[in-house]
Amino acid sequence: METDEYRLNNIVRGIITSLFTLFVFGLVFFSNVTYVSAKTFSEKSAKDYTLSLQEKEGIKEQITGAEISLKYDSTVPEGISYDENLLNERINKLQCFDTSKVIRSQNAKLVYENNSFVICKEIYGNSINRSALYENIVKAINNRETEINLEELKCYEEPKFVTTSSEIVSAKETLNRYISANITYNFAGQTRTLDGLAIKDWIIIGEDYEVSLYEPLVRKYVDSLADAYTSLLGTSIKVSGGYDGNNHSWIINREAETSALIENIKNGQTIEKHPIYAQTSAASYFRNVGGTFVEIDMTKQHLWYYKDGYLVVEGDVVTGNANAGHSTPAGVYRLYYKQKDTVLRGEDYAAPVSFWMPFNGNIGLHDANWRSEFGGEIYKTDGSHGCVNAPYYVAKTVYNNINSGVAVICYNS
């Protein structure tokens, strides 16, 4: 038999069960209402969505949800979807892609002005980095943002190198070192000076501001020296006397001199130099001549003395009397010795000289105080007995700077 207490408990349980059922039903009901409301709100928002693009120079553009078929989509993590093709088409139509209005950014430049290289400031344009712009637009749409600033988001292409970039600063220093070089060549009695005005046209500046010299142009310059030297000196020298009539070439080593000149320029040197010479296999002994030798062109009646590649002295001379059969023999010789204040004697003469430098039997170089003129065609009818007569100052300078064993080259050009 049920007690009053038992019946009371049943009634309470029923009430509790009913209340729980109503609570659960309410949760489900209101959740569905919220879900439907949210869905309805999102669909409406997608149609009305607008993304404003803040560009340079105060330009503003917009992309609307309707233009890209933006809609609610619960199947994707972001909860929205859009037509990517339509988005790309809309982006392509933005004013910032109008080629007539686009100004490309430019790197800082190195230009030659007033005998030196200077840096010209870079240019910041309005050209867009499309991939960066696309990524930021997609991110803004997914985050329901309504405005983005293209400049703040670094959507514009920027110069890779600016005035303070280490690459361009270093390149400027290198360029100005190169063009500071001043190189004077002494060869065959001639001089030729190479300076920055010519060197600047041989320089190559790479995309990343690597500096180099265009070797073919350097070689072309050396070729011009070699060709000039050949025409002045002659392509070969007929050797007689102690060298059994062999022929020998005395030419500039083009390859070696090109490499040497490049290094001279890279180091920004100011120097006087003699070009590097090469010899034929027939003149292997000539390799020891180096840059110290006496050069006598008997056609031009002129002498040059080089020491360690530098022109020490030059001047007109008088060689052997051609009409009398006393022509000075062409050839490559070595100085025997040198002697001061002596008398040169022959069958019909005795000639006191201050500086005597024999190099081929009794033939040598000496001063000739009895002559008032040198050079020209004097040698043809009033030349020496075979020696090389030089003005006092020429003979003295050679004497004071020469040693036995130095090469003496006599030739007809």
Strand pairing category for 182-187 and 270-273: parallel
Longest dimension (CA), the chain: 179
Torsions phi, psi for 309 (to 5 deg): 90, -5
**Is 325 strand, coil or helix?**
coil
Choose among 159, 281, 262: nearest CA to 219. 262
Burial state string for 201-211 with b = 16 or more CB within 10 A and e = fewer than 16: ebbebeeebeb
Strand pairing category for 270-273 and 293-297: unpaired
Identify whether 302 is a catalytic site residue. no
Q: Return the residue matching tokens 């075979």.
A: 386
What DSSP string runs through 359-376? EETTEEEEE-TT-S--ST
**Is 181 strand, coil or helix?**
coil
Choose among 236, 223, 238, 231: nearest CA to 189. 231
User: How many other CB atoms are there within 10 angstroms of residue 222's CB atom?
Assistant: 23
Total count of residues recorded for the chain: 413
Q: Catalytic residue, from 96, 155, 387, 410: name it.
A: 387
Query: Using N-to-C axis directions, what is the helix angle for 166-179 and 254-266, rounded to 10°?
Result: 120
Q: Return the residue matching tokens 């002498």.
A: 303
- Give the Cα separation of 332 and 317 in Å (integer): 18
- Give the Cα separation of 273 and 252 in Å (integer): 13
User: How many other CB atoms are there within 10 angstroms of residue 288's CB atom?
Assistant: 9
Cα–Cα distance list, 265 to 172, 196, 200, 260, 318 (Å) = 15, 9, 11, 9, 40
Q: Angle CA(358)–CA(363)–CA(365) in degrees, nearest 5? A: 55
Identify whether 366 is a catalytic site residue. yes
Beta bridge partners of 340: 355
- Give the Cα separation of 49 and 71 in Å (integer): 10
Q: Catalytic residue, from 248, 274, 302, 366: name it.
A: 366
Catalytic amino acids? 366, 387
